[in-house]
Structures are given as C-alpha cells and as structure tokens.
C-alpha cells in the first residue's frame, strides 16, 4: 500500500511537467511529419528539420522545468528564480507573437495555401509561439525560403536574436544557478541545460553559414 501511494504521489508531482514536454515535442513532430509527407510539400531541408526539433526540445524542456520550479517553491530564493524563469518564458512568447504577425504580412507567403489549410497552419502558429523555428513550416513561395528556411534575412535575424537573448541565455543562466545551488532538479534540469547548450551551439553555427558571400544566403544542404 505504501509503495502504491509513493508511485501515485510521484506521478502526481511529475504529471504536469512531463505532459507539457511530451505533448509539446509530439505536437512539433506531428507538424513536421505532416508538412514533409503530406500534400503540403514543404520541402524542408534536413538542417531546417533539425533546427526545429532542437528548438522544440529546448523550448518545451524550459517550459516543463519552469512549471516544476513554480510547483516546488518553498523559499524566497526559489520564488525569485521561479519568477525569473516565468518572465523569460512570457517575454519571448510575446515577442514571438509580434514576429508571427510580421511573418503573416510577408509578400513571400502563399496566402492561398494558408487559407486552404487554415486549421493546420493555425496549429503551426500556436506551436510557433513557443518555438519560432517552426515558422519555416509556413507555406512560403517556391524558391523564396533562402535564409535558413525563411524568406527574409531580417526575419531570420530577429528569430535568432529573440531566441538567443530573450530565452536561451537567460534560461540557461537561471537553470545553472538553480541546479548548482539545490542539486535536486531531477531529470528535467540536465535535460533542459543540455538542450539549451545544443541549441545555442547549433544556432551559432547556422547563422554564419547563412551569410556566406556569393551563396544567395542559402543554407547548406
């Protein structure tokens, strides 16, 4: 009986975080699979798909870790760090919404395809609020998505700067402090830190690759 109660308690404590993580990553994977293998024919490059998957793991481990910290606050230090984690989720989401509005006004967007599959692309935009890399899946016109899967260099740079300086770097610093000070973040803490490190390195490698002179700003296949 005690063992059963401990299992139920363990599941209750982790349910919200892990449902968010698994559900978010699964939703992103479904978006990619549908875009690549359905009649949409997004023609995403392997590097673009990898960027979306890495960003998805990074975004949803951050969200799950924040939820875990909010549910376990018991000291002033934990209240402050959890509040900071929440701030650096809300602010990037608000900025993402602003960038999405700009993307929807782009002259390179295929409005007909957007209207024909409005329900699907509404889901894409919902995922993009937490992971702007998913904007690559939008129905851009043929041959236009030459800036690392996006049609606009300014949009590409805004996405990169927003994710790096409003999400990745602040979240990584706070998570590192929490993990070093308490050491009881469970599996989510190292997962979130690992995804953030991989995402930062990958984005750092991708941006110079998109700006090679004479390459028409195309990413390498």
Could you tell me which residue, 180 or 85, shows the higher pLDDT? 85
**Tens digit of each residue's pLDDT (9 = 90 or more) over 118-148:** 888 989 998 888 888 888 888 888 777 677 7
Q: Flag whether 196 is in a domain.
A: yes
* Termini Cα distance of the chain: 57
Residue 21: which residues within 8 A CB-CB, separation 6 or more? 60, 61, 63, 64, 188
**Tens digit of each residue's pLDDT (9 = 90 or more) over 190-220:** 898 899 888 888 877 776 555 544 433 333 3
Q: Flag whether 125 is in a domain.
A: yes
Q: Flag whether 122 is in a domain.
A: yes
Give the residue from 127, 133, 129 showing the smallest Cα distance to 51: 133
Q: Flag whether 219 is in a domain.
A: no
Q: Tokens 């930062």 belong to which residue?
A: 200
pLDDT at 9: 44
Domain span at residue 176 reads 2-210
Q: Flag whether 123 is in a domain.
A: yes
**Tens digit of each residue's pLDDT (9 = 90 or more) over 77-106:** 889 998 999 999 999 999 999 999 988 998
Residue 89: burial class (beta carbons within 10 Å; 0-12, 13-18, 19+): buried
CA distance 56 to 73: 26
In the DSSP assignment, the letter for residue 218 is: P
Q: How many CA atoms lie within 13 A of 34 on its CB side?
A: 16
Residue 74: burial class (beta carbons within 10 Å; 0-12, 13-18, 19+): exposed
**pTM, 2 dp:** 0.77
**Average pLDDT across the chain, whole number:** 80
Collapsed DSSP state (helix, strand, coil) of residue 105: coil
Q: Flag whether 106 is in a domain.
A: yes
Residue 23: which residues within 8 A CB-CB, separation 6 or more? none
Q: Flag whether 218 is in a domain.
A: no
**Tens digit of each residue's pLDDT (9 = 90 or more) over 160-175:** 888 888 888 898 898 8
Q: Flag whether 157 is in a domain.
A: yes
pLDDT at 184: 58
List own/partner pairs for 10-18 with CB under 8 A and 24 or more apart: 13/71, 14/186, 16/67, 16/71, 17/64, 17/65, 17/67, 17/68, 17/71, 17/188, 18/64
pLDDT at 113: 86
Collapsed DSSP state (helix, strand, coil) of residue 106: coil
Into how many domains does the chain fold? 1
């Amino acid at each position: 009986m005690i063992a059963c109660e401990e299992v139920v308690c363990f599941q209750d404590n982790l349910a919200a975080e892990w449902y968010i993580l698994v559900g978010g990553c699964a939703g992103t994977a479904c978006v990619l699979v549908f875009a690549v293998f359905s009649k949409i024919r997004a023609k995403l490059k392997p590097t673009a798909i990898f960027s979306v998957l890495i960003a998805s793991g990074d975004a949803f481990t951050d969200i799950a870790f924040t939820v875990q910290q909010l549910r376990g606050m018991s000291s002033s230090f934990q209240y402050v760090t959890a509040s900071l984690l929440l701030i650096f989720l809300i602010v990037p989401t608000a900025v993402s919404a602003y960038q999405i509005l700009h993307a929807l006004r782009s002259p390179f967007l295929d409005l007909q395809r957007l209207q024909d599959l409005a329900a699907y692309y509404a889901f894409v935009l919902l995922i993009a609020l937490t992971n702007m890399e998913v904007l690559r899946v939008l129905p851009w016109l043929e041959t236009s998505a030459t800036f690392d899967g996006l049609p606009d260099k300014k949009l590409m740079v805004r996405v990169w700067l927003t994710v790096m300086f409003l999400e990745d770097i602040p979240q990584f610093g706070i998570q590192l402090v929490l993990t070093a000070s308490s050491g009881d973040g469970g599996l989510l803490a190292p997962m979130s830190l690992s995804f953030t490190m991989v995402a930062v390195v990958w984005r750092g490698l991708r941006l110079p690759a998109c700006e090679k002179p004479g390459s028409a700003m195309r990413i390498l296949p």
